[in-house]
Amino acid sequence: MISSLFLAATALALAPLPVEDDPQALFAALVQAHDDWRLTVYPEYALRRGVEDRAGELTDSSLAGVHKRQAWCERFLEELRAVDPAKLPAADARDYFLLRRDIELGVDGFRFGAWMMPVSGRSGPHQEIPQMGDLATFADLDDYEAYVKRLQGVPGSVIGTIEVMRAGLESGAMPPKVTVAQVPLQIRAARTSMRDTLRRLMSMPKSIAAEDRARLESGFARALDPIDTALTEFEAFFITEYLPKCRESIGASDMKEGAAWYAHQLRVHTTT
């Protein structure tokens, strides 16, 4: 059955729940709940799917946000395991095992702490901010208002990322120094080019009224200085606190529970 704990965790309205003796309907409801949850907690993913309900939001990058998502996955996995795949049609049973494997890998791998290393040469605020304008179309007033709101959320997102990285510092979950040595230069490049990179608002369509255009321009301008400050603080943190504590070694065996983490990564990256 779908428990009240699961329903509270989703914070999403489901259609009338299927009867408990209908495993196929129950599994379909769980799949829908999982998809709805992803669209809710990962607004950038939703935008790439063409869902704009939370177009002005960013994923909660804070430590609390990470733990909240993990707790949801743990509760969802309990509900998923309660479904008997032997009672599902063949196609649903295949989907069940794939979904369960994906959730189990995420839940099981949380203890290794890779989530406390959210920044690399290819990921992190310094990569995400310049690409923020690529998340959605810019066709009407709502699109531009959502864009300004996303920009206004950037400083908080940077602060959340630093918070998670500090958790890594405290627990010893640190990346090899060689893999992140160039990140400060990338942060600086993102900051110095930010105003030109983000100035997509300057090409608003003529369908947007002059007063709305002026309001959006003002909001865009006000968002830039806080982003610049956040990236400056991020660069300073990375140079003075984070990079000196990164590992000199590159082997997974040098991590806490390194052998187990490596075995887990083999499971993650090999085909089913």
Percentages helix, strand, coil for the chain (3-state, rounded to 5) are 70, 0, 30
> What pLDDT is attached to residue 177?
95
Reduced to 3 states (helix: H, G, I; strand: E, B; else coil), residue 263 is: helix
Q: Which residue, among 227, 223, 204, has the nearest Cα to 214 in the 3D structure?
A: 204
Res 270: pLDDT: 86
Q: Are 117 and 168 in contact (CB under 8 A)?
A: yes
pLDDT value at residue 272 = 57
3 contact partners, CB below 8 Å, separation of at least 6: 78, 79
Mean pLDDT by 10 residues, the chain (272 residues): 45 48 93 97 94 94 97 97 96 97 96 94 91 83 92 96 97 94 95 78 83 92 93 97 94 82 88 64
Which pTM does this prediction carry?
0.87
What single letter denotes the amino acid at residue 230?
A
pLDDT at 89: 96
- pLDDT at position 132 is 83
Rounded to whole angstroms, the Cα distance separating 222 from 224 reads 6
pLDDT, position 258: 81
What ranges in 110-182 are assigned the alpha helix state H?
A: 125-128, 141-171, 177-180
- CA torsion sign, 66 to 71 to 74 to 77? negative
